[in-house]
Structure 1
Amino acid sequence: MQIHIRISDDLQNTRLDIILSRHDKVFTRSRAAALVHSGEILVNGRTKKAGYRVKPGDIITGHISEFTVEPEVLPEDIPTDIVFEDEHILVINKRAGMVVHPAPGNFSGTLVNALLYHNPLILGVGEEKQRSGIVHRLDKDTSGLMVIAKTEQALVFLQKEFRERRVEKRYLALVSGNLSHDQGEIDLPIGRHPVKRKLMAINYETGKPAVTLWKVQKRFKDACLVEIALKTGRTHQIRVHFYSMVHPLLGDLVYQPGRLRKKKSIAPRQMLHSCRLSFRHPYSGQKMEFSSGLPEDFLIILALLESEL
């Protein structure tokens, strides 16, 4: 399905997701927002947020290859590792292999399905039912800490904290090869891949600022364990930045040089774990700090690398 909309004067300042939902009755607002977020909808050739306020003359384009009516989000009895919970928030330890929210190809078995079983009142927290309670995301094969909003007020507060970069996130990762320094900073803009729209890439023309700080924790024969702090939170930021340094994450099947893609990795998934999360509580304002130990699959790979020293 092709989308081509030119914005007239009378539509000025309307949200992008609302424009799409008005354009075609098959679009629900949450479906429209999901397509915008995935990069399938562009404004003047660039990605925007669902809440972008359109301007006269803006041209909205897109090619929707997989167009289906948005299914209902159902609660599912999926074990969830809850680290902390009160009436406002949940902090969970996401396992690798779990998608955060329903999307084409993954309409069940997601973290949101599990959260709705745990607490049905989370449904509808936020503008998109499929992302109910979701403040931030981790990739499917990234494990570790996430904060979930149980109320609309908590969601708005925490989203603002993330936007204003008041939330501290730390990760542990195993990267390929031996880094030439013990610590460093990667400051390269990230945007949608010019051809493969579902992927991200270093993009100096349309990319957004992205800064990653890293420090080597341990060196192995042909890999390094690094601790990572993010100054920004772009999609796939850590994976893209280390790929750009020719030190891709162990087990990453997407951001990997062609010569290594055919080589079988010792890692079962990308070796990336969200190990620390710190933020202000949305009700009390108290600073909350959480940490998470490495999961078993990560520890197994570490032990294997140790045995090769």
Structure 2
Amino acid sequence: MASETELIDVEEQDLYEHLRIVVDKGQSLLRIDKFLMHRIENASRNRIQNAIELGNVLVNDKLAKSSYRVKPLDVISVVLPHPPRDTEVYPENIPLDITYEDDDVLVVNKPAGLVVHPGYNNYTGTLVNGLVYHFEQLPTLPGNDGRPGLVHRIDKDTSGLLLISKNERAMTWLARQFYEHTITRKYVALAWGDIEQDGTVTGYIGRSIADRRVMSIYDDETKGKWSVTHYKVLERFGYVTLIECQLETGRTHQIRAHMKHIGHPLFSDATYGGDKIVKGTSFSKYKQFVENCFELMPRQALHAQTLGFVHPTTRERIHFEAPIPADMEAVLQKWRKYIAAGVEQNAG
């Protein structure tokens, strides 16, 4: 069953805004930073100038400079992280597994079971509470019940790498990369079934009509938001397959819903039907083996393993990997032994 926190998660695309402004015919010449201050709600001049400096403002599809003077019928495109809100988040001394940190960004390896941000029934004990304690001040986003520094998110019971911005300039820079899908994110997942070949899942993802706790894939663009997941086979175990999933878009429950949609729900994913035997034999020994695996890892077999992005200051592309966590590794080892034992038995 999906947690309340998972239900209120916003789309990553909603963490920042993409604005398209067509300048009025009667507009007099005016510096673009001043013009945008009057056209964008809660936009300070510093916030606008940051966006211009980082290349997040285009005029007629060309990079704008702060000194540019807007003209009638100019088409202005802006990508900005949403402005801060007054939402208090209480600091808590929660241990953080920090993969990388500098003055601009933090990469944290989130364990499964840790809620990312405060929300309904989870106002304390979240990753964000720990971030506020350790780093005192981080930029925030609106409509989020306090998500300082977050430019994307992963589900409570998914483990792996999460990118945090430590100042508004970094957030603006990273927001553009997420918007343009240039952030590299790869997950490893254990899915039910023998997946024959690599592939791509696409479709409009939205809340299920039958159950609002889960996401469904539609052909109708009015029922959801466009989503793309590429998957590649890493290792086969007959009844389950270890795959790598690369995200193009960042929708709620995207990988989990996509794999369910093509008939391969993630192993031990209760929300999407992966917490029961989907493929395999009727033998009681096999049933007991699978149940033991579920006990070892009572959550979806999904880990955000790889993260790559262009750094906001150095402008160099950097890349990080997080090892598969102990619970998921233990389940993979059990499957390897189970399949090997079966092969030896058949060979004998």
Give the TM-score range, shorter chain: 0.7 to 0.9
With 233-242 and 201-210 compared, the bigger mean Cα shift is at 201-210
Deviations 1:235-289 (A, max 9, x none): 111000110112100110101179759x956232100011110001112211111
Residue identity matched to 2:319: E
8 Å contact from structure 1 (residues 141, 270) kept in 2: yes
Q: How does 1:117-132 map to 2 (within 5 A)?
A: 117-122=133-138, 124-127=139-142, 128=144, 130-132=146-148
Deviation at 1:296, TM superposition (A): 0.5
Q: Distance in 2 between matches of 1:259 and 1:73?
A: 38
- 1:132–1:285 distance in 2 versus 1, CA, 3 Å: same
> Which residue does the alignment assign to 1:193?
208
Deviation at 1:49, TM superposition (A): 7.8
1:232 aligns with 2:212: no
Relative to the length of structure 1, the TM-score reads: 0.74
- 1:76–1:194 distance in 2 versus 1, CA, 3 Å: same
Q: How does 1:61-100 map to 2 (within 5 A)?
A: 72-100=88-116
Q: Matched residue pairs, number? A: 249
8 Å contact from structure 2 (residues 108, 161) kept in 1: yes
> Which residue does the alignment assign to 1:134?
150
Q: Distance in 2 between matches of 1:138 and 1:285?
A: 25
1:302 aligns with 2:332: yes
Q: Distance in 1 between matches of 2:93 and 2:15?
A: 32
Gaps (5+ residues) in structure 2? 1-6, 20-85, 279-289, 340-348
- 1:146–1:307 distance in 2 versus 1, CA, 3 Å: same
Gaps (5+ residues) in structure 1? 1-33, 39-47, 54-69
Highest CA radius of gyration, 1 or 2?
Answer: 2
Deviations 1:32-72 (A, max 9, x none): xx96938xxxxxxxxx889699xxxxxxxxxxxxxxxx984
8 Å contact from structure 2 (residues 268, 274) kept in 1: no
1:37 aligns with 2:53: no
Q: Distance in 1 between matches of 2:244 and 2:273?
A: 20
Relative to the length of structure 2, the TM-score reads: 0.66
- 1:223–1:198 distance in 2 versus 1, CA, 3 Å: same
8 Å contact from structure 1 (residues 87, 150) kept in 2: yes
> Which residue does the alignment assign to 1:167?
183
Residue identity matched to 1:289: H
With 299-308 and 190-199 compared, the bigger mean Cα shift is at 190-199
Residue 254 of structure 1 is aligned with which of 235, 257, 271? 271
- 1:111–1:49 distance in 2 versus 1, CA, 3 Å: closer
